[in-house]
Structures are given as C-alpha cells and as structure tokens.
Amino acid sequence: MASLRDIKTRINSTQKTKQITKAMQMVSASKLNRAEQNAKSFVPYSEKIQEVVAGIAGSGEVVDHPMLQAREVKKTAYFVITSDRGLAGAYNSSILRTVYRTIQQRHKSEDEYTVIALGRVGRDFFKKRGISVSNEVTGLADQPNFADIKDLTSETVQLYIDEEIDELILFYSHFISAISQEVTQKKLLPLTDIGQGKKKNSSTYEYEPGQEEILNVLLPQYAESLIYGAILDSKASEHASRMTAMQSATDNATDLISDLSLQYNRARQAAITQEITEIVGGAAAQK
C-alpha cells in the first residue's frame, strides 16, 4: 500500500498536470474561434473562383488544358495535412491511418505514388515507414496566410501540369463542429468536376485576351485555393481536437485527484487510528 507521502506526491503532480492541460484547453479554444472564422471567411472566395472558372470552361468553346484532362494514372501524389505537434487526440492518427491503408490497397510499387506532407507528424510517419516524401512543409503558423504555403501549392500543381504525376489526392480533417471532425479524401487533380453539385449560374462573363490564356492563370490559382481552403479547414479541426483532448485530460486529472484525495484521507485516518490504538495499548500495559 502506498505511503501518505507517495499519495501526496501523486496528488501534487496531478494538480500541476491539470493546470497545464487546462491552460492548453483555453489556448486551443481561443485559436479555434479564429481558425473557424478564417475557414468560413475563405468560402465565398473559393466559391466565386469556382463559379468563374466553371463559367469560362463551360462557355461552349473547346477546352484543352492539362488540368482539365484526365489521363492514364501512372503515378499518384497524396497531399496529406497533419499537425506539427501531438496532444490532439485522434486528429493525426485518423488521417495517417486512412492514407496508409489507401496506399497499401491501391499500390504495389513505390514508383506508383509519392507523398506531399504538410506537418511534422505526417512527415515523420511516412519517413519512418520508408514512404517517399517528395515535398514537405513544417512549422506552419496556427493561423496560416496564403503566402506561407504559396510555394508548396504552386509546386504541387506544377507537378501535374508537367505530367510528373497523373492525379493529386488530398487528405485532411474536415471541421464539422468543436466536437466533430471527419477525415476527408478529395481528388484535387485533374479538375474534372468543376461546377458539379453547384447551382447553375446565369452570369455571362466577357473576357480577353482569350479562354486559353485566362484558364492558364485561373486554373492553377483555383487548385491552389482548394489546397489552402483545406489547410484552413484542417487547422480548425486541429484546434478543436486539441481542445477536446485537453478537456478530457483535465477531467481525468480532476477524477484522479478526487480518488487520490479519498485514498489519502482514508490512509491518514487509518494511521491516526493506529497511533491511538498504540497509545491506548501502551497505557494499558503500564497499569
């Protein structure tokens, strides 16, 4: 049975841990509010650029752009968004488990795929398993700007344009609510579904110099915006997962402190009773 000193030491250490997890919970809650606002505020831009691209690409003229043309898939790139730190519940493990299972099911050779990793946890996971990571970004800010990932997104899109990859699949955690996130798999390139699932827009766009020149500029920007939107969405999920995990840790620490305090009081009462018994016994023996 643990001594009173051991129990007291455990209570003190658990209280310190509770203070840390409570502080992390509050920090994550603050970050979540801003991340959620960033993700929501980006939606109108994403929808508008999709509307414009769909309107120009579907104007009736023959569209011959590599980003709109599906081709035989010889090599697939997986763009995987994770965090740089742990302590976020199942946020990282759910994404990585899904990606790893997909790779094992779809590919027999390492030449058939590559990984583009955003986040230290994902990068380390793939490198430990000998999976090729062709590009990576770590240390991304909690509230990232587009400039922070501009190089990564443009290089990723260029891989498809240069036919170094034949499809690009995005994996990230979609934010639903503070207590609910969903691992999402989205085929990003080729852009064969522009405008699908959207209401038909009656707007007519006048543009110059021509459809091909405009699409050469807009299509890469559109693909990059999809990646950036997923990153904002994923950041909201990360902060929500970490907030929930820290809240659970705080609650568990509270329960543990309660149990240890009860154990400490019982042990202390037993020690006092034992001392009284010894005193009474000693007094009786002297008579």
**What CA–CA distance (Å, rounded) separates 42 from 121?**
26
Query: Which of the four pLDDT bands, split at 50, 70 and 90, describes residue 200?
Result: low
Is the pLDDT at 278 greater than 80? The verdict is no
Percent of the chain topping pLDDT 90: 44
Quote the pLDDT of residue 275: 76
Query: Which of the four pLDDT bands, split at 50, 70 and 90, describes residue 287?
Result: low
In CATH terms, the fold of domain 25-244 is Pyruvate Kinase; Chain: A, domain 1 (3.40.1380)
**What CA–CA distance (Å, rounded) separates 229 from 46?**
8
Is the pLDDT at 57 greater than 90? The verdict is no
Dihedral angle at the C-alpha atoms of 117, 121, 122, 125, nearest 10 degrees? 130
More confident residue, 211 or 172: 172
Is the pLDDT at 272 greater than 70? The verdict is yes
76 φ, ψ to 5°? -115, 140
Checking DSSP bridges between strand 113-118 and strand 133-137, what pairing results, if any?
parallel
Instruction: Report residue 114 CA to chain centroid gap.
Output: 20
Contacts 24+ apart (CB under 8 A), 160-166: 160/66, 160/67, 160/77, 160/189, 160/190, 161/66, 161/67, 161/220, 163/66, 163/71, 164/75, 165/75, 165/76, 165/77, 165/114, 165/189, 166/71, 166/72, 166/73, 166/74, 166/75, 166/76
Is the pLDDT at 121 greater than 90? The verdict is yes
Do the beta carbons of residue 85 and residue 121 sit within 8 Å? yes
Query: What is the arithmetic mean of pLDDT over 259-277?
Result: 84
**What CA–CA distance (Å, rounded) separates 71 from 162?**
13
Quote the pLDDT of residue 191: 82
Where are any strands of DSSP class E within 82-191?
113-118, 133-137, 167-177, 180-189
Checking DSSP bridges between strand 76-81 and strand 167-177, what pairing results, if any?
parallel
Quote the pLDDT of residue 58: 65
Quote the pLDDT of residue 18: 93
How high is the mean pLDDT of the chain? 86
248 φ, ψ to 5°? -65, -40
Place of tokens 């779809």: 106
Do the beta carbons of residue 109 and residue 74 sit within 8 Å? no
Contacts of 208 (CB under 8 A, 6+ apart): none
Domain ranges for the chain: 25-244
